[in-house]
Structure 1
């Protein structure tokens, strides 16, 4: 599903100091006034905050976005603990929430159980005696939410977006990206060694001698490397044309032969659909080759590793420690694990998200916030329309189509109109892994039941308690969960300049996703089709290349540069969000000048400071390296120092000129929306 989000990072409290008695939004202690704003605006706006919020040992990154997420986690914990304290009747939502959490917190029982909870899965793998058994076992694991080779899921048809079809997407890798298997750098080699050590540990903990475990780990790594070589890169997966390959079951089986894909689907207990979109045909071809040539023993070893690494975080403390040593320490540079309760809150929240969300909204989401957001969204829509009409580079024909798409954007704020029914999910207090697998089966049934049916336009893909927002091009909709409508994004009693600079830019960001390098390929009804003139498309691509080139120049670590192509969609959305929201703020003044200073800053300065404060963060070098490789969002500092030098109004607000190191000459600036 092509959902694009605002990203992760956040901060302070605020509004007008005289209303709340709290610390000013932009007090000098949160900034670093010794830094020239034209040299490093990120540090100027956030230097004090960064000093006051050093990286906790259990975090690889800690920003104002993360701080809000942590505060939210405390609220969710209270909701879950209150549910657990009720000793509710079996089958009720409170019982399920409470028992799921309790099962994850009972480490004595988890340690005592050892690998017994996953023994039925391992026994199923060990029962493989012939090639056909491989498919049966993969189907069985898929039912448990464990995807050894690919994700099989429901997805809106990109060219008929009101209907759901089946989709197949590459999987099978234990490391976060194919490039970790293929790159020749020293850092990549170290991570490959760490990954093989992790696999060795998993096999050892499951009862194998260390020498045998090491051999199995090497075998698995070679198998996964074959999958990696056939996998699309993240950049290739950003191309909706490349990943749209709709065929019938015969077409899929031709791609993946001799792997019997129809048998795989039937083995999960589902009928074969009429249409299936294969996102990566080359990957399926490699699966077919491996199915034909690899020994049964290799398949059994690989499938066992998939089960172990998919369940390690929910097993004994030794498994949890091994999981953290690779994914937390080696990959991201974390020094310590999060407290157990945070992990279990996350898992409970994931399994019963809308049930928890319904309680969250009742407790923490004021109706006034939704009302004010409704007005802000429409103000941003008007401003975006104004900017489209004023574009000098776009033809009238494409402008009209763009205006129609903008007018058609659906808006969801706060929480769903209808809530998920969790009646069929059974939760017990005695087994954490059993609850995880039961939740996986429940989610798979919910998802695959959509295939062949109309898309439910009321469905949400984030829970209300999620600190984020997203745009869905197949529905042409923007979605703002309740949890993001808090400082530093949204100030219910804050002044307009701050709100337009923070949540206003978020709104503009998500709207702009409908017109970024991916979103622009989808029409107002969500269908992938060409609605631009060829000349306008060429002009758009030339303008976005300016942004690609700018971000490619950011050296994030010695010798490591940002990926301007991978992050292009998000960078377009950041720049567009800034320009659209600033226009909306000016509109709100009705031609009058706001001369009031608050916290010592003019309204124009507060707008850009509010935006910058959202991305305040500290981050470890290992996490910088990982995110640069796998994340479509730019790093926090680049989300500030990247787009702002393209905005003349920012220069004007802070009295900056060509002498400033961040200065970009007008003719070299990115100008898109």
Structure 2
């Protein structure tokens, strides 16, 4: 993946006339013209599509952009996987071969069961559990290497809580727990019996497992606290200190991964960072107070649950019946081919991604996308220059930070191709564990090593993008640089309205409620005066209040599901607002040099329609409820919230003052 420099003229061919007033059919076929765009632009832009959209039985929502890209990208991936490429073919085929999986039964877990059942002390048992963590099955905590927020030039080790089978809110919220507890108990009992437990023994194990998980969930960081922790100082403890204070939870984990817990070598990187020690304090006590037999049951269940998708078809179906159908509201179990494709993507994704890049991301597409990013960066610089709430020092530092952004497109320069591994087409679970061992070992060896600022942290076929505050880096995989977000044949209004607003969104993340705490070098080092910080907080609070008033309603029954979680979603809302305005300005800068085929009015409308239509979505209640636990508001409010604050939108669609999409009070931050 090379960085490229070319003339902006390659974005789209310059038109000779600006007289076209008819919008593209691909845009108009989605519009519901019976809706007033100034009252509900989202429904106006998406309504005709929404009426005919049907959520697939194995999904919990459908949309106009990501689903279309997924279909396109999946077709490419299926073609690659059918080609039986080296390593890739063996892994994929080992998943497809259900006959072998059935004949193997529980044998892939036999050695692990033997180790668990022969442990005579809690410490020995937890050491066994930490050996399983090397296979990607962390029992109680995880150790990861990531950028040191205090020195963004190097990597450091951090301790984080292990994930639970269910989202933590299920355990904490009694009403939410009531909706799943009966089915979860059935699931636990089912997989334990498939693993050889008697019905009586499985029934006795269920409350032991659930009580333990509920206790851990109760002491783990809450979602908002996690967001706040990401911009807070962290606590450092040496390996020796950790072994003394948390011998069961952390000392045993460090030892399993080969770290010197006695500081025999007095290394400079012999420490872990923690954003919140509360979980670790209480989890250590919980482990000490749990009987050996109960702990054995808990660890066996963790192994069985983590492996259930990768054993016999009966295990896979049991997992889907609860996780897929009950938690994610999927209507039908995905085909084996689809499941295996997804697992290949998840497990050996960079290997698969190299073939994907060759298929879909030619050099001319890379050049055009590169120039779009540059146009958006230039536009955001203009926004900084005209932000009168910034003092001179903050404005200068913001410009310096922006000028030091690096952006990468397509895929990783140095993908993980597993050169030392061989996969066995008859050993699916073993293949997964081998890949996990390589990835975990590679990550932990980064401790104390210089940060690779060119590292690409998404897979090339992912329809996603990100800003990394430690690297001051924005990344756009080839997977999102496809129709309907981006196409070299689109008019500029479409490219700027769709992918342009996404690019602007990621740039704005460098200056949102989290990004603003990191300096030009990616270190946590607030660079704002008190007055400028106060101005930012006032403007951010306006957005928080605005989005907090949005009520999410069921698309099935019309019932209120709750208000948008405005504090958790604040960073995304800041980025959506900044991205929209930045891209509209960039679009008009482009038009100064390269006139559109459309009239100004039509081009402007096409821009806003392309923005909104990138977010058209039809959702189950399960999907909407799940969003409450994420940093993202529902798609409707991502469009509506940003448009309410955009005076240019109101001008283009001639929205009267105090109409729903043109309120007198607008929340203005990055413009």
Give me the TM-score of the superposition, normalised by structure 2. 0.91
Q: 1:218-262: per-residue Cα shift (whole Å, max 9, x none)?
A: 1111001111111001111112244722332244346x5342633
Q: Distance in 2 between matches of 1:481 and 1:592?
A: 27
Counterpart for residue 91 of structure 1: none
Counterpart for residue 127 of structure 1: 118
Check the 8 A contact 1:180/1:192 in 2, yes or no: no
Deviates most, 38-47 or 145-154: 38-47
Pair 1:378-2:374 in alignment: yes
1:25 Cα deviation (Å)? 5.2
Deviates most, 338-347 or 488-497: 338-347
What is the DSSP-based 3-state SS (H/G/I as helix, E as strand, rest coil) of the residue aligned with 1:95? Answer: coil
1:97 Cα deviation (Å)? 0.2
What is the DSSP-based 3-state SS (H/G/I as helix, E as strand, rest coil) of the residue aligned with 1:196? Answer: helix
Q: How does 1:286-297 map to 2 (within 5 A)?
A: 286-297=282-293
Q: How does 1:231-630 map to 2 (within 5 A)?
A: 231-239=220-228, 240-242=230-232, 244-253=234-243, 256-259=245-248, 261-271=250-260, 273-557=269-553, 558-590=560-592, 596-597=598-599, 602-629=602-629
Q: 1:113-134: per-residue Cα shift (whole Å, max 9, x none)?
A: 2222122222221122112202
1:649 Cα deviation (Å)? 0.7
1:140 Cα deviation (Å)? 0.7
Counterpart for residue 80 of structure 1: 81
Pair 1:662-2:661 in alignment: yes
Unaligned residue ranges in structure 1 (runs of 5+) = 1-14, 85-93
Q: Per the alignment, do residues 663 and 527 of structure 1 end up closer, same or farther by CA in structure 2, a change over 3 Å counting? A: same
Check the 8 A contact 1:332/1:620 in 2, yes or no: no
Give me the TM-score of the superposition, normalised by structure 1. 0.91
Q: 1:599-625: per-residue Cα shift (whole Å, max 9, x none)?
A: xx7111111111111111111111111
What is the DSSP-based 3-state SS (H/G/I as helix, E as strand, rest coil) of the residue aligned with 1:167? Answer: strand
Q: Distance in 2 between matches of 1:657 and 1:209?
A: 70
Q: Distance in 1 between matches of 2:306 and 2:531?
A: 48
What is the DSSP-based 3-state SS (H/G/I as helix, E as strand, rest coil) of the residue aligned with 2:248? Answer: coil
1:372 Cα deviation (Å)? 1.0
Q: Distance in 1 between matches of 2:632 and 2:599?
A: 33
Aligned pairs, how many? 637
Check the 8 A contact 1:497/1:606 in 2, yes or no: yes
Q: Per the alignment, do residues 304 and 389 of structure 1 end up closer, same or farther by CA in structure 2, a change over 3 Å counting? A: same
Q: Distance in 2 between matches of 1:510 and 1:27?
A: 25
Q: Per the alignment, do residues 649 and 591 of structure 1 end up closer, same or farther by CA in structure 2, a change over 3 Å counting? A: farther
1:654 Cα deviation (Å)? 1.2
Q: Distance in 2 between matches of 1:25 and 1:503?
A: 19
Check the 8 A contact 1:252/1:278 in 2, yes or no: no
Correspondence for 1:202 among 182, 191, 199: 191
Correspondence for 1:193 among 170, 177, 182: 182
Deviates most, 651-660 or 608-617: 651-660
Q: Distance in 2 between matches of 1:27 and 1:145?
A: 44
Counterpart for residue 169 of structure 1: 160
Q: 1:445-469: per-residue Cα shift (whole Å, max 9, x none)?
A: 1111111211122221111111111
Q: Distance in 2 between matches of 1:661 and 1:614?
A: 21
What is the DSSP-based 3-state SS (H/G/I as helix, E as strand, rest coil) of the residue aligned with 1:298? Answer: helix
Counterpart for residue 45 of structure 1: 45
Q: Distance in 2 between matches of 1:172 and 1:460?
A: 24
Counterpart for residue 66 of structure 1: 67
Correspondence for 2:669 among 660, 668, 671: 671
What is the DSSP-based 3-state SS (H/G/I as helix, E as strand, rest coil) of the residue aligned with 1:590? Answer: helix
Q: Distance in 2 between matches of 1:568 and 1:41?
A: 22
Counterpart for residue 135 of structure 2: 144
1:142 Cα deviation (Å)? 1.0
Unaligned residue ranges in structure 2 (runs of 5+) = 1-13, 18-22, 262-268, 554-559
Q: Per the alignment, do residues 671 and 415 of structure 1 end up closer, same or farther by CA in structure 2, a change over 3 Å counting? A: same
Deviates most, 117-126 or 631-640: 117-126
Check the 8 A contact 1:170/1:279 in 2, yes or no: no
C-alpha RMSD over aligned residues: 2.1
Deviates most, 305-314 or 549-558: 549-558
Q: Per the alignment, do residues 25 and 399 of structure 1 end up closer, same or farther by CA in structure 2, a change over 3 Å counting? A: farther
Correspondence for 1:154 among 124, 141, 145: 145
1:396 Cα deviation (Å)? 0.8
Counterpart for residue 7 of structure 1: none
1:26 Cα deviation (Å)? 4.2
Pair 1:640-2:629 in alignment: no
Q: 1:19-66: per-residue Cα shift (whole Å, max 9, x none)?
A: xxxx93544321211122122211111122223431000111111212
